[in-house]
Amino acid sequence: MAETTSPAVKDRYDYEELLACARGELFGPGNAQLPAPPMLLFHRIVTINKDGGKYGKGYIEAEFDITPDLWFFDCHFLGDPVMPGSLGLDAMWQLVGFFLGWIGGKGRGRALGCGNVKFAGQVTQDITKVVYKVDMKRVINRSLVMGLGDAVLEADGKPIYWAEDLRVGLMSPEALAR
């Protein structure tokens, strides 16, 4: 089982640890969780830190192994299999939310929007690896927990998606009930 006492001391996470996060075991009950497969859209976090990245506010990088049998290729689009761009964008939000839990933020993660998004390529069945890179721009960890980041998705080393000002908040159960 993944370590649950000090997740922030780690600078990388394997797939089993990401699954523990999806079960609510990594950051504690009621706090940030990743979605479970098939919506968990990366296999490992290869680096995470609090003061790296373009803005010095934190950086997270994750990898997703692409295989032709992934679920979305069977339905998007029939006869023209491609990963939906919205899934790549969702993975970027997932990583911002994970970062907020990793720094000790409390509450359940919710995507709050983003600024600009650009798609300049596709993830098709011939791609072998997707890499997500997120530069945190602003991090608030008080009674309000929110992260703002810029991200890029690379397909076999080529940048093809960009998202600016990805916003994720951690919400208390009371806020979610409203």
- Distance CA(79)–CA(88), nearest Å, equals 21
Nearest Cα to 27, choosing from 120, 87, 110, 98?
A: 98
Please say if 43 is a catalytic residue: no
SS3 of 27-67: CCCCCCCCCCCCCCCCCEEEEEECCCCCCCCCEEEEEEECC
Q: What angle do CA 160, 111, 136 make, to 5 degrees?
A: 60
Nearest Cα to 152, choosing from 135, 138, 137?
A: 135
Nearest Cα to 150, choosing from 140, 161, 135, 138?
A: 135
The one catalytic residue in 10, 76, 106, 110 is 76
Catalytic residues, by residue number, are 76
